[in-house]
Amino acid sequence: MTKLVSPHGGKGLVCCLLEGAALEAEKKKAAGLKKIEISSRAKGDLIMMGIGGFSPLSGFMKKVDWKSVCEKMLLSDGTFWPVPVTLDISAADAKAVKTGEEVALVRNDEVMAIMKVEEVYEMTETDKKQECELVFKGEGPDSKKFWEVAPNDHPGVKMVLEQKEYNIAGQVKVLSQGDFPTKFPGIYKTPVELRAEMDQRGWQKVAALQLRNPMHRSHEYLAKIAVEVCDGVVIHSLVGSLKPGDIPAEVRVRCIDTLVDKYFVKANVIQAGYPLDMRYAGPREALLHATFRQNYGVNNLIVGRDHAGVGDFYGMFEAQEIFRKMPKPAEAGKRLLCHPLNIDWTFYCVKCDGMASMRTCSHGKEDRVILSGTKLRKMLSEGTEVPNHFGREEVLVILREYYSSLTEKIEIKMQNAAVGAGM
């Protein structure tokens, strides 16, 4: 009998991935259907619907759900959901499809899913801007001049503004998990697989550490705090696509492997990966991270400084604050049951002679080595020396090897708040 938190939505795991004879039959059918090319983001969303990671979603959102999620963080049936999950199509494709028919959703010549079309709706420039303001704007310094900087500097906003003219909605039958199972064997795990592993260990209270950057000393410290207060921690890395300048998943996985092998009690930690692309939606994305972590059996999400942020669009701890502001539906199954494990700004303190946080260290910033994934990437990309205690040497060896292999350097911008803190 599982002790883990139940999946989000009150319907159990809603898995749209076909197997066996049903899969083969739908693959044959797909060959004769109209084909719609989808984005990398939509591919990740489809796979999450396939494996139950996006429960209770079983398809891309209709306009009523898109609008309700943007404005209220609720699906139209009252279930909590923080970020739109939509599929954009061109005006030509919108004219070519009919409500009620099935279409094949294709990414780079691979049929990922079959959708039964339930609705095609226009996304005007006004609609796109509304989504950007409600989902991505935040309360940081850059948000005061949002439309001056976001179209060029916010990857999530750029993604929405560059979407095609229409959205298509409907239930999906997922036919593939892409190359994630073969590319990341033992790391890429479905909710069913991760839940089984945690059940085998007898875990009940579980924390997840969200990672898109290489795991530095601050991440290690956050994970170890979670181990102290939970049955175990899942180091859960995004293995989908990132923005230019971020470090590929294969490199990050090697770094985590090294840290887990040398610095953790293995019985208390699981490394796993999930197939989404980053949306860079800051606080709203923190809520999304908690929502699908609940489907994976996790009931605590570690939320530190600037979770899922980009640039200076969000306040440093806005992702913690949003959990106190989110809607809480009356029906338990429709509420978010994965709670934040909030941790203050962490760093290495020379006078404390160890890792600490603003809550535990009384010393000044001149005594602190402030840790940041962005700062680490900037130093490594520019070939500058990494300060002592910033990262484990075994990890820095892997990262230096990666950066030395690059033929083209990408400028990495630092946040104003981070620079001001002495990073």
Confirm whether 416 is a catalytic residue: no
In a domain, 298, yes or no: no
| 170-210 tens-digit pLDDT | 999 999 999 999 999 999 999 999 999 999 999 999 999 99
Higher pLDDT, 12 or 380: 12
**Could you tell me the pLDDT band of residue 309, with boundaries at 50, 70 and 90?**
confident
For residue 382, the model assigns a pLDDT of 81
- Checking if the pLDDT of 381 tops 90, the result is no
DSSP designation for 171: E
From 144, 174, 204, give the residue that closes a domain.
174
Q: Are residues 393 and 244 in the same domain?
A: yes
Q: Looking at residue 406, what is its pLDDT?
A: 83
Q: What is the pLDDT of residues 3-47, one digit of tens each?
A: 999 999 999 999 999 999 999 999 999 999 999 999 999 999 999
Looking at the predicted structure, is the pLDDT value of residue 413 above 80? no
Q: List all residues 6 or more positions away from 146 whose beta carbon is below 8 Å from its beta carbon.
A: 133, 137, 313
Q: Are strands 34-37 and 102-107 parallel, antiparallel or unpaired?
A: parallel
Domain that holds residue 83: 20-174
pLDDT of 416 > 90? The answer is: no
The pLDDT score that the predictor gives to residue 379 is 82
* Same domain assignment for residues 163 and 81: yes
pLDDT at 420: 45
Condensed to tens digits (0 to 9), the pLDDT of residues 333-347 reads 999 999 999 999 899
- Give the CATH number for residue 123: 3.10.400.10
Q: Is the pLDDT of residue 103 over 50?
A: yes
Do both 139 and 217 map to the same domain? no
Are 354 and 238 within one domain?
A: yes
Assess whether pLDDT exceeds 70 at residue 423. no
Cα torsion through 180, 185, 188, 194, rounded to 10: 150
193 or 243: which leads in pLDDT:
193
- Which band of pLDDT confidence, cut at 50, 70 and 90, is reported for residue 419? very low
Tell me, what CATH number does 211's domain have? Answer: 3.40.50.620
pLDDT of residue 422: 39
> pLDDT band at 215, cuts 50/70/90?
confident
Is residue 421 pLDDT above 80, yes or no?
no
**Contact of 117 with 98, CB cutoff 8 Å:** yes
Q: What are the backbone dihedrals phi and psi of residue 247, each rounded to the nearest 5 degrees, phi first?
A: -90, 135
The verdict on residue 10 lying in a domain is no
Same domain for 141 and 236: no
- The question of whether 213 is a catalytic residue gets the answer yes
Q: Is there a single domain that holds both residue 64 and residue 184?
A: no
Predicted confidence (pLDDT) at residue 328 exceeds the cutoff of 70: yes
Q: Has residue 348 got a pLDDT over 70?
A: yes
Does residue 162 sit within a domain? yes
Mean pLDDT of all residues belonging to the chain: 93
Same domain flag for 96 and 77: yes
Q: Looking at residue 241, what is its pLDDT?
A: 81
296 belongs to a structural domain: no
Q: What are phi and psi of 363, to 5 degrees?
A: -85, 170
Q: Which of 149, 174, 199 is the last residue of a domain?
A: 174
Q: What confidence score (pLDDT) does residue 254 get?
A: 92
Mean pLDDT of 352-357: 94
CA distance 334 to 228: 30
Exposed, middle or buried: residue 279 (CB in 10 Å: 0-12, 13-18, 19+)? Answer: buried
- Judge if 253 and 188 occupy the same domain: yes
Catalytic residue (choose from 107, 195, 213, 293): 213
pLDDT at 246 over 60: yes
Whole-number Å distance between alpha carbons of 11 and 396: 44
On whether both 84 and 123 belong to a single domain, the answer is yes
Q: Which whole number is the average pLDDT over 205-225?
A: 91
Strand partners, 35: 104
Helix-strand-coil split of the chain, %, nearest 5: 40, 20, 40
Structure confidence by residue, pLDDT tens digits, 259-278: 999 999 999 999 999 999 98
Number of domains forming the structure of the chain: 2
236 belongs to a structural domain: yes
Q: Do residue 48 and residue 159 come from a single domain?
A: yes
Catalytic residue among 212, 305, 335, 377: 212
Could you give the CA distance from residue 399 to residue 248 in angstroms, rounded to a whole number?
11
Which residues, 6 or more positions from 126, have their beta carbon under 8 angstroms from its beta carbon?
none
Are residues 104 and 164 part of one domain?
yes
Q: Which of 113-117, 165-169, 195-199, 411-415 bottoms out in mean pLDDT, i.e. has the lowest?
A: 411-415
> What value does the mean pLDDT take over residues 286-309?
95
* Closest by CA position to 297, among listed 104, 84, 44, 12: 12
Mark which of 116, 149, 174 sits at the end of a domain: 174
Average pLDDT rounded to a whole number, residues 102-114: 97
